[in-house]
Amino acid sequence: MTTGFYHDERCFWHAGGNYAFTIPLGGYVQPLAAGGLPENPETKRRLKNLMDVTGITADLEMRSAPEATREDLLRVHPAHYLDAFREMSDAGGGEIGRATPFARGGYEIAALSAGLAKTALEDVLTGSVTNAYSLSRPPGHHCLPDFPNGFCLLANIAIAIESARARGLAQRFVVLDWDVHHGNGTEAIFYDRDDVLTLSLHQEGNYPLDTGAVTDRGRGAGTGCNVNLPLPAGAGHSAYLHAMDTVILPQIEAFRPDVIIVACGFDASAIDPLARMLATAETFRQMTLRVRQAAEELCSGRLVLVHEGGYSEVYVPFCGHATLEALSGSSKSAPDPMAHALNIRQPGPRFDAFLKAEIDYLASQL
């Protein structure tokens, strides 16, 4: 088995914006002493650094990729949006959506981020690698065709899917989004389609504030091909695995995909500043093992993880490393330094029972 790992230093150079956390500067909002938006290169760079230190890098097939072409992007995004984005990028940068600033060259870096996801998917579908991880930045799952938001400038996974379809590499796709925020962009792009099953496992009422309801099931031909599981704040390891075992995996099995793609955010972790969940590195390991097994049983192991959110510079590397261990089968480990403390902080028996009952209720609404 070969696991491809797709990355490029230039993705770490994406930057821009006058923000303090997620609040625009001005009025009574002071600049931060270090950094602006919580979406910054360090979570991704520190993951790669940890990989190098443990030696798991040597167990992966390290690859890069070219930028997604304009033809690739036009399959998802209208020309007027791409033209406005590129013009602003060439002029020095700016912002054309909500919380999506970029500097000069931001267009090319976003196209590279999409290109990493596109190539990872194509390499899995052509058998060049067994499965793959794309360390894409900027992320993509909030981006609508003509409106970027939530740090996302291009719809990376959708671009990858449409490219694979255009090449005739696959016909049926699953996108499982376990980022803590609702995958509204991916949902919107495929909402009318029956060839892409979109599943989002997210914290209820986090971001966006007005999307992600369990009743949003798709439209027209796509009815039933969109699944949202909005979990209550405080959900931890046991609740996430219950959701995977009782709802997510049965939905994937019933769909019978050619390939499974995971929008892999690590912001459901207990140490993330943009969420109130209690997942651990072990949670991500176990979810990856489950989806890898599903891929092996349903689609010859074809599985691609595309990096999305996760904003704890300290903890994202350990969550990512555990995920890569599970994806690749590598024995190189990075023991979780927070495991003991986070296990103590997991929901108690009564709250855990409530969480599982809520998940079962949501499942009954599908």
Catalytic residue positions, numbered:
142
Residues 6 or more apart from 321 whose CB is under 8 A from it? 47, 50, 51, 54, 56, 281, 333, 334
In the Cβ-directed half-sphere of 285, how many Cα atoms lie within 13 Å? 17
Query: Which burial class, exposed, middle or buried, applies to 13 when counting CB atoms under 10 A from its CB (0-12, 13-18, 19+)?
Result: middle
Helix (H, G, I), strand (E, B) or coil at 118: helix
The H helix count followed by the E strand count for the chain is 12, 12
Q: Which token pair is 269?
A: 């972790």
Burial class (CB in 10 A: 0-12, 13-18, 19+), 357: exposed
Q: Which tokens hold the place of 15? A: 């930057």
Contacts of 179 (CB under 8 A, 6+ apart): 141, 202, 263, 264, 265, 267, 268, 308, 309, 310
CA-based diameter of the chain, in Å?
56
Strands (E), 14-162: 19-20, 23-24, 61-63, 93-95, 101-103, 131-134
What is the Cα–Cα distance from 19 to 15, expressed in whole angstroms? 12
The radius of gyration of the chain's CA atoms, rounded to the nearest angstrom, is 19
Burial of 331 (0-12, 13-18, 19+ CB in 10 A): exposed
The backbone torsions φ and ψ at residue 154, rounded to the nearest 5 degrees and listed phi first, read: -135, 150
CB 38 within 8 A of CB 311: yes
